[in-house]
Amino acid sequence: AQSVTQLGSHVSVSEGALVLLRCNYSSSVPPYLFWYVQYPNQGLQLLLKYTSAATLVKGINGFEAEFKKSETSFHLTKPSAHMSDAAEYFCAVIPNSGYSTLTFGKGTMLLVSP
Amino acid sequence: KAGVTQTPRYLIKTRGQQVTLSCSPISGHRSVSWYQQTPGQGLQFLFEYFSETQRNKGNFPGRFSGRQFSNSRSEMNVSTLELGDSALYLCASRQEHNSPLHFGNGTRLTVT
């Protein structure tokens, strides 16, 4: 079985500050991991994915995430927040073998203040 | 390539009615998944179809059903609507089982 825990339903940062959104996973087999972003009244857009290649993954809009097996974590970071980053972010996991569906975390709403 | 297309974008229905939502996946994607998104429950998996066969099913009552056609387009149906069915219904397609999901913009269903 697999699951994802996102710490913090809301994260507030100032424009220009570091963004850190936390994601921890549990999976019975090595997983693939994804981060998605959702803007109001839209679907989810893929930010980045980890598929067992490099542990540091770069995505769109300046975001990156690091896979740490020892900590079962896949935290999302961005060095400098923009107002346009305000959205809801979802971490998701799927086993890298067998057939299964994506399991999503509850989401973290990122608030960016001027 | 065109993205995942969902129609309609908004729907208002009355309790007891039924509704059909439509999804056209990205060209070449044979897998289509459906999710229900609500503020309280987050993203909940409904079902996934691959080449017209249901591959996985979430924990929803039998009022929720779906199907996939030979051109990979999918529909989901909800019968005997309840107030709690009000949600954003998201469709997503993928190329193979561990590929990322690509989402449509959803159908916002309001049940009154």
Residues A37-69 have pLDDT tens digits of: 999 889 999 999 998 778 899 999 999 999 998
Which pLDDT band, with edges at 50, 70 and 90, does B1 fall under?
confident
Please name the member of A42, A94, A105 whose beta carbon is closest to the beta carbon of B98: A94
Which pLDDT band, with edges at 50, 70 and 90, does A102 fall under?
confident
Higher pLDDT, A101 or B37: B37
For testing contact with chain A, the best of B34, B98, B109 (most A CBs within 10 A) = B98
Please tell me the distance from the alpha carbon of residue A26 to that of residue A30, in angstroms, as a whole number. Answer: 9
Average pLDDT over residues A95-99: 72
Secondary structure class of B85 (helix, strand, coil): helix
- For A30, other C-beta atoms within 10 Å of its C-beta total 10
User: How close A18 gets to chain B, by Cα (Å)?
Assistant: 26
CB pairs under 8 A between A and B: 52
**Mean of pLDDT over chain B:** 94
Do the chains contact at B105 and A32, CB–CB below 8 Å? no
Going from the C-alpha of A16 to that of each of A57, A80, A84, A90, the distances in angstroms are 21, 4, 12, 22
Do the chains contact at A46 and B102, CB–CB below 8 Å? yes
pLDDT reported for residue A100: 75
Nearest chain B residue (CA) to A49: B100
| Sheet of strand A73-78, all strands in order from the earlier edge strand to the far edge | A2-7, A19-27, A73-78, A64-68, A56-58
Which pLDDT band, with edges at 50, 70 and 90, does B99 fall under?
confident
On whether any CB of chain A is under 8 Å from the CB of B101, the answer is: yes
Output the six-digit token pair for A5: 């825990």
On whether any CB of chain A is under 8 Å from the CB of B33, the answer is: yes
Contact B108, B6 (CB under 8 A): no
Average pLDDT over residues A1-23: 94
Which pLDDT band, with edges at 50, 70 and 90, does A29 fall under?
confident
Do the chains contact at B98 and A96, CB–CB below 8 Å? yes
